[in-house]
Each structure stands twice: as structure tokens, then as C-alpha cells.
């Protein structure tokens, strides 16, 4: 009986530790990760299945890469910040970049870069220096894990969806990134967390 109790408490400890572990690792990313502001691309109506949530989409096409990727292959995407301070998926790598923040995802579609096609056309017309050519290809990627659902209180969900339409230009998504892990911190409307904005 005592052995069985020992096993039971070990089992119980594992069951409890798993949510605790997930919570702590998430909290770690939120506390220590660098904050990036992403512009949302579009949004879907909400889905009442696992509690209500807002689905957030990002610009995931036209990610540059030096490598040949197959569809479905794992890629490490570095994060860049543009002049206005918004983040974007900069470049897809085959191994995690050492110096930059990155996220792990899968390749959705791999194709020749449009800019590359333009450059080839320019080369055929002449007057183009091949040594300066940008030979990087372009890929489309899946949205990395843990970035595209924002679970929200059922009473706020409808209001939040309307805000998504009316305040589209003034919304960005705060994502904390640490060691290849992303956590969606909050959705900001006029630099306020969406929850505060709705209850103002």
C-alpha cells in the first residue's frame, strides 16, 4: 500500500508540475524576453470552441532566405525591426541564428523571389552588375507557435472584434521573444492593452 501511495504522489506531482512548468516558462519569456511590436495583417471572426479568442494573422509571405527549403521543413526565422519600430520576419535560416532573436516555424511555400525575377530580367536587358545581385529567395512561413490566438473574456470578445475593425491602423501585437520561444503579451490599441482600452 505504501509503494502504491508513493507512486500516486509521484503521479500527482507530475500532473501538477506540468501546468506549473508551462506557467513558469511562459512567465520567464514574458518577464525577460525582448518586446517586439507586430502589425496585425487581418483577423478572423472568433471561435467559441475553446473559450473565445481573437485570431491574429501576420505578414508571413515574402520572407527572405539564402537556403533551399522544402515545403513543411523546419526553419528558424530571425526577427527584424523596421524604421517605424514594428517587427517583421526578416530571414529564414536552417539553423538558429546565434546573435539575433529567432522563432521556430515551418515553411509553407518556397518560391523564387520576385525581386530575383526582376533582377534576372534586368540582367537580360543588360546594364546590371551580377556581382551586386541579391540572390536570396523568398519563402512563405507558417505563423510560429503561440502567436496567433488571443484568448479573451467572453463579455469582451465582441467589443474587441469591433475594435479590430475600427481601430485597425492603431493596433499592434506585443510579442515577447526569448531563446526561440514566443509569448503573445497583449494586443495594444493606441498603445494601451486592449483590455484597458475596452474598459476605459
Partner 1 sequence: MNATQFLLNFADKIEQKEIVNQSTAIKIRSYIRKLEDSTPIELFLIISGIMGALFCAAGIFSIIGHNWDEYSKTVRGVLSILPAVIALYFYYRAIFHHPKSRPWIEASSVFLMLMIGASIALVSQTYQLDGDFKQFIKVWAVLTIPLFYFARASGITILYLGLISALVVDVSFGWFGIPNIGEDENSMWYWYLLLGFLPHYYISLKKKNRSQSVRVIYMSYVVYLSLLLAMLVTVKGNYFLWIATTSAAFYLLGKRFMGENTSIFGRPFQLFGQLWIATLLISLSNKDWMNFIFRNDSFIQMFKPEGPNSLYRELDSELNTERIFYFVIVQLLMVGLYIVYFLLKKHFKDVSKLVLFTPLFLFVMMILHEFLLPEWMVVFLVNAYIILLGLNAFIVGSENRNVPQMIYGFLLISILLWLRYFDTDWNFLVKGGVFIGVGAIFFLINLTQKGKLERIHRNKTRRDDN
Q: Which residues bind partner 1 (CB under 8 A)?
A: 1, 4-5, 7-8, 11-12, 14-16, 18-20, 22-24, 26-27, 30, 48, 50-53, 145-154, 156, 183-184, 195
Which residue, 27 or 32, is less far from partner 1 as judged by CB?
27
Q: What is the largest CA-CA distance in the chain?
A: 86
Q: How far is the CB of 132 from partner 1 (least distance, A)?
A: 41
Cβ 11 to partner 1 shortest distance, Å: 5
Q: Closer CB to partner 1, residue 152 or residue 177?
A: 152
Residue in 149, 116, 130 with CA at minimum distance from that of residue 40: 149
Residue whose CB is less far from partner 1, 48 or 179: 48
- Considering the complex, state which of residue 80 and residue 193 has its C-beta at the smaller distance from partner 1: 193
Round to whole Å and give the CA distance between 63 and 93. Answer: 10
- DSSP of 23-34: HHHHHHHHHHSE
Amino acid at each position: 500500500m505504501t509503494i502504491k501511495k508513493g507512486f500516486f504522489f509521484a503521479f500527482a506531482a507530475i500532473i501538477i508540475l506540468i501546468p506549473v512548468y508551462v506557467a513558469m516558462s511562459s512567465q520567464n519569456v514574458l518577464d525577460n524576453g525582448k518586446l517586439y511590436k507586430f502589425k496585425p495583417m487581418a483577423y478572423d471572426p472568433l471561435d467559441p470552441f475553446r473559450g473565445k479568442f481573437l485570431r491574429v494573422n501576420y505578414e508571413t509571405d515574402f520572407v527572405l532566405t539564402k537556403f533551399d527549403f522544402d515545403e513543411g521543413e523546419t526553419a528558424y526565422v530571425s526577427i527584424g525591426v523596421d524604421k517605424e519600430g514594428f517587427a517583421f520576419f526578416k530571414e529564414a535560416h536552417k539553423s538558429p541564428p546565434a546573435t539575433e532573436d529567432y522563432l521556430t516555424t515551418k515553411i509553407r511555400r518556397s518560391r523564387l523571389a520576385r525581386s530575383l525575377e526582376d533582377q534576372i530580367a534586368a540582367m537580360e536587358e543588360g546594364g546590371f552588375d551580377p556581382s551586386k545581385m541579391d540572390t536570396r529567395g523568398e519563402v512563405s512561413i507558417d505563423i510560429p507557435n503561440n502567436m496567433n490566438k488571443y484568448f479573451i473574456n467572453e463579455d469582451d470578445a465582441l467589443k474587441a472584434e469591433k475594435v479590430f475593425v475600427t481601430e485597425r491602423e492603431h493596433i499592434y501585437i506585443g510579442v515577447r521573444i526569448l531563446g526561440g520561444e514566443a509569448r503573445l503579451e497583449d494586443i495594444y490599441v493606441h498603445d494601451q492593452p486592449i483590455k484597458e482600452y475596452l474598459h476605459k
